Structure 1
Amino acid sequence: MAKTPAQRAAKHGTAATPSTVPVINNSTRRTPQKAQGNVNLFLIASSVASLFLFAYFHLLTLNQMKDLSGGLAMPQSFVFGFDMAHVEALRLAMDADALGQLNYVGKTAGTLFPLLFAITALTMIASNVAKRPLRWALWVLPLAFAAISLWANAAVDSMMAAQKLDPGAVTLASGLVTASWMLLIATLLAIGLALFLGRKKKVTPAAS
């Protein structure tokens, strides 16, 4: 007849009792250092990708589109907006294929850049700004930049593809493009502030 664990322990001592304490593998624990390291790797990769997409969209592709428009700049390139005369000249200079290429570039690189840049900025602010009210205030900038940039691209496409040019559509597209550039600059300043606060937070405990 099989003995119970208590009977075996009484006869052979506690050494005969099977151990019920689970073995913990400390090597699989996610330490704060590992978590921060993963965040830093993501930020490095996303920052490089954002810079590449910005250069590809604004510095390379939109500049190359001038070859299809008789040297006229694309609407997204104007930091301070554009006027009716420029859009009319641009529409006359660009054929259907050129307009289709502008539309394609806006829907690919013109969409990927603001989304990836906004995600990078949100993560960078979250990992460096401890105060919640300030963090939320800074988060507004990249979120607004992404939304306005996508809206600006759609407004430019609609303006360029319209059968008859509408002054209201030109004003809207121009204002959105200008707002997207201003929000891009404001987001970069927010990132700079976040990095400053994060560096200050790391230096202060070491000094004390």
Structure 2
Amino acid sequence: MARTRAQIARKHSTGVPPPPASPATVLPDRQRSNGSLVIIAAAVAAVFLFWYFHLLALGQMTQLSDGLAMPDMMVGGYDTEYVQRLRGAMDDDARGQLSYLHKTAGTLFPLIFAFAWLLLIQLNTGRRRLRWVLWSPVILFVVVDLWENIAIDTALAQSSPEPGAVALASTLTVLRWVLLVVSLGAGGISVFSPGRRGSPGTRENSGAPNR
């Protein structure tokens, strides 16, 4: 007697139906892939803005200040005498141009950099407490960077720069560069830490059933 297809299928079947694809395991990988693309795009934009603002625009500003560097680029800080010399070398148009740079590229760079780095740490750090520790320097960098722009413009706008205003701007400049380096290190820690989110060990531990 010829066997039906159903009988043949039952004979060769192992008796255990194949497990269906679980959306819960596919979705995190898809979200991680999409997040990685966003990080790459934001990181590229941040690098471009860093180059444009620090190396190109502020570098060209020295042509309007008799070769004196802009305060933003002085990693070690500056004093009242230097700000007074810089202000004397720059006319109103030059100071206005520096203020315009602060409001455009000088504002976009820290915001886009912070967006990229916060997302990078979010996707690669599983522990909530560690995530906030790594986020802290990035958030502080944005606050200090934006504050520094205002402080520099304020100090240069004064006919006789006040020591207090210059000291504030100088402190913010030094702190800004320190926080930028620390933020880069925080991103590196999140990427290369052994227990980072999405690593094979983390997935196995999180997906293993309790016995």
* Residue identity in the other structure for 1:54: F
2:164 aligned partner: 168
CA contact (8 A) 1:129 1:198 kept: no
* Gap runs ≥5 in structure 2: 1-21, 206-211
Query: Is 1:137 aligned to residue 133 of structure 2?
Result: yes
Quote the Cα distance in structure 2 between the aligned partners of 1:129 and 1:33. Answer: 15
Name the counterpart of 1:10.
none
CA distance in 1, matches of 2:51, 2:201: 37
Q: What is the RMSD of the two structures over their aligned residues, measured on CA atoms?
A: 2.3
Matched-pair contact (CA < 8 Å) for 2:64–2:90? yes
Q: Which residue of 1 aligns with 2:17?
A: none
Q: Could you tell me whether the CA contact under 8 Å between 2:124 and 2:196 is conserved in 1?
A: no
Shift of 1:45: 0.1
Does the CA contact (< 8 Å) of 1:125 and 1:194 recur in 2? Answer: yes
Query: How does 1:92-103 map onto structure 2 within 5 Å?
Result: 92-103=88-99
1:31 Cα deviation from its structure 2 partner: 2.0
Letter in 2 for 1:70: D
Task: Give the match for residue 110 of structure 1.
Answer: 106
Given that 2:125 and 2:196 are in contact with CA atoms closer than 8 Å, whether structure 1 keeps it comes out as no
Alignment of 1:25-104 (within 5 A): 31-104=27-100
TM-score normalised over the length of structure 1: 0.82
Aligned residues: 182
Which consecutive residues of structure 1, in runs of 5 or more, have no partner in the other structure?
Answer: 1-25
Q: Who is 1:204 aligned against?
A: 201
SS in 2 for 1:31: helix
**In 1: Cα distance, 2:188 partner to 2:102 partner:** 28
Q: Which amino acid in 2 is paired with 1:141?
A: P
Distance 2:110 2:129 in 1: 24
Following superposition, the deviation at residue 33 of structure 1 comes to 2.1
Query: Retained in 2: the 8 A contact 1:128–1:198?
Result: no
* Maintained 8 Å contact 2:126/2:195: no
Q: 2 CA distance for matches of 1:128 and 1:34?
A: 14
Q: C-alpha displacement at 1:203, in angstroms?
A: 4.6
% same residue: 45
Q: Which has the larger radius of gyration?
A: 1
TM-fit CA distance, 1:99: 0.4
TM-score w.r.t. the length of structure 2 is 0.81
Give the drift of 1:206. 8.7
Give the AA of the match of 2:29: Q
The 1:56–1:162 alpha-carbon spacing in structure 2 relative to 1, beyond 3 Å, is same
Q: In the alignment, residue 133 of structure 1 is paired with which amino acid?
A: R
Pairwise CA distance, 1:86: 1.2
CA contact under 8 A between 1:159 and 1:169: conserved in structure 2?
yes
